[in-house]
Amino acid sequence: MSMTETPEGPRKTVYIETYGCQMNVSDSELMYGSLAAHGYTPVEAPDGADVILVNTCAIRENAETRVIGRLGELKRFMKADTIVGVTGCMAQRLGPRLLDQAKHVSLVVGPDGYRSLPQLLDGARSGERFSATDFDLEEHYEDVVARRFEGVKAWIPVQRGCNYRCTYCIVPYTRGAERSRKLDDVVRETHDVVAQGLSEIVLLGQTVNSYNDGTHDFADLLRAVAAVDGIRRVRYTSPHPNDFSDRVIAAMAEVPEVCEHVHLPMQSGSTSMLKRMLRRYSREDYLASVERLRNAIPGLALTTDIIVGFPGETDAEFEDTLSLCREVRFNDAFMFKFSMREGTPAERMPAEWTVPDAVVTERFDRLLATVRGISRENNMTRLGARVEVLVEKVARDGTLLQARSRDFKTVMVPAESAKIGDYLTVELTGTTGATFTGTPVRDRAPLPMASPMASPMVSTTA
């Protein structure tokens, strides 16, 4: 993309590089939208951009190390008047410390400060350097129209912040207290998403199933967004195991658009460890949530997050994590080595609780092998099944298309069989263990009886 002329002169260009979770991806879409409304043109590369923003994550130390390295690299793309800003969770966490550390950075803006970006950029242009990290519990950016880049699905934030205080986690400090958007605002955005030709939405929040706007809970929200004409798939991430009320489970079970997949972070399979993590559930409570979900939703796929090497982790506690994985038989898991974050309660735990790196690595590798093994076995049993997939993008190898089943499996389909944005019915013909290959069995999937589609799919590319 190049600079475009307007009557007021050339439009300035802005490039945003995004790290971290979907919440950050969604925030970048809001920043692009807000800046576009203030005369900026989004561009896809940093080279020569007038404004470069790095939207950062602070969840683990290596996420931050990467950003520090990247900030150095970005210098070579800067023109004399390029403004570099750091946004997101690391900006919130470090504030002015980042300005001291990186002299070519003129702006540091936390997740609740994006509304003032256009003014802050004007200030930076006249040589000022700012750190804006106040929380704003009212801020949902309702008047900002997100500029979406994802081709077929829309991230919709429904809740910001987090009221849990898991002892390892930096998020409550970088995102502030939990607050929910009004249901009507989320529904309005869902209509906008359909008008843009998208039919899948992913509702976002740190403990998204605790959503409550004062009048409506998450069950109401699921029902309301699924009822929007043209919405064919509804997903959400991440729920907390304690916030699955019967109402929420019933909504999942009864609303056909809500996909049969839950990402249910477990963190550990040991009750004593979960207590040190302040997760507020036991191994048995977690299993009970799994059982309630599985009983209500046939064919439910479960994925999870697991931390290895949290302070004080004993061999027995780690074995409990392995055995819970075997018991639940997750379809997949994100696994992390514990990373100590400044200012979290874990920092105040006794130094002798620190698990040596070699032990962490050995446990991590064993967990990885266990999870992958189960996932492979699960996937083998699915061969021959017919599933509906939505084609998301061109696969990395460039010849196949990458599609996604309702239960979140990645399925590669031949490029000539479809285009991005199509729904297909495929037979699962092969698996690498992690992903599938699929052969289309009909041109288009029949419309689900319970959810007539209002508008034909529009194919879009990112």
Using CA atoms, how far apart are residues 142 and 119, in angstroms rounded to an integer?
Answer: 18
Q: Where are the alpha helices (DSSP H) in 108-161?
A: 117-125
The smaller minimum CB distance to ligand SF4, of residues 274 and 387, is found at 274
Using CA atoms, how far apart are residues 35 and 420, in angstroms rounded to an integer?
Answer: 28
Kindly list the residues in this chain that would bind ligand F3S in the complex (CB under 6 A). 20-21, 23-24, 57-59, 88-89, 170-171, 174-175
For 400, the token pair is 């196949």
For residue 207, state whether it binds ligand SF4 (rule: CB under 6 A).
Answer: yes
For residue 59, state whether it binds ligand SAH (rule: CB under 6 A).
Answer: yes
Shortest Å, Cβ 403 to ligand SF4: 30
Residue 20 binds which entry of ligand SAH, ligand SF4, ligand F3S, none, CB below 5-8 Å type-dependent: ligand F3S
The single-letter DSSP state of residue 8 is T
For residue 338, state whether it binds ligand SAH (rule: CB under 6 A).
Answer: yes
Residue 57 binds which entry of ligand SF4, ligand F3S, ligand SAH, none, CB below 5-8 Å type-dependent: ligand F3S
The smaller minimum CB distance to ligand SAH, of residues 63 and 458, is found at 63
Segment lying near ligand SAH (by CB under 6 A), choices 6-14, 128-136, 168-176, 195-203: 168-176
Shortest Å, Cβ 265 to ligand SF4: 7
Residue 51's alpha-carbon distances to 32, 47, 94, 239, 450, in angstroms, are 11, 10, 21, 35, 48
Classified as helix, coil or strand, 390 is: strand
The smaller minimum CB distance to ligand SF4, of residues 149 and 164, is found at 164
The smaller minimum CB distance to ligand F3S, of residues 175 and 261, is found at 175
For 96, the token pair is 């002015």
For residue 268, state whether it binds ligand SAH (rule: CB under 6 A).
Answer: no
List Cβ neighbours of 157 (8 Å cut-off, separation of 6 or more): 23, 26, 27, 140, 181, 204, 205
For residue 55, state whether it binds ligand SAH (rule: CB under 6 A).
Answer: no
Judging by beta carbons within 10 Å of its beta carbon (0-12, 13-18, 19+), is residue 216 exposed, middle or buried?
middle
The smaller minimum CB distance to ligand F3S, of residues 306 and 403, is found at 306
Q: Which residues in the 113-172 window bind ligand SF4 by CB under 6 A? A: 162, 164-166, 169, 171-172
Sequential DSSP letters for 188-239: HHHHHHHHTT--EEEEE-TTGGG-B-SS-BHHHHHHHHHTSTT--EEEEE--
Alpha carbon 260 to its chain's center: 18
Residue 58 binds which entry of ligand SF4, ligand F3S, ligand SAH, none, CB below 5-8 Å type-dependent: ligand F3S
List Cβ neighbours of 359 (8 Å cut-off, separation of 6 or more): 309
Which one of residues 32, 40, 155, 168 is an interface residue with ligand SAH (CB under 6 A)?
168
Are 109 and 24 within 8 A, CB to CB?
no
The smaller minimum CB distance to ligand SAH, of residues 368 and 394, is found at 368
For residue 218, state whether it binds ligand SAH (rule: CB under 6 A).
Answer: no
Using CA atoms, how far apart are residues 20 and 58, in angstroms rounded to an integer?
Answer: 8
Shortest Å, Cβ 145 to ligand SF4: 27
Binding stretches for ligand SF4 (CB under 6 A): 162, 164-166, 169, 171-172, 206-207, 240
Binding stretches for ligand SAH (CB under 6 A): 59-60, 168-169, 171, 206-207, 238, 240, 265, 267, 305, 307, 336, 338-339, 341
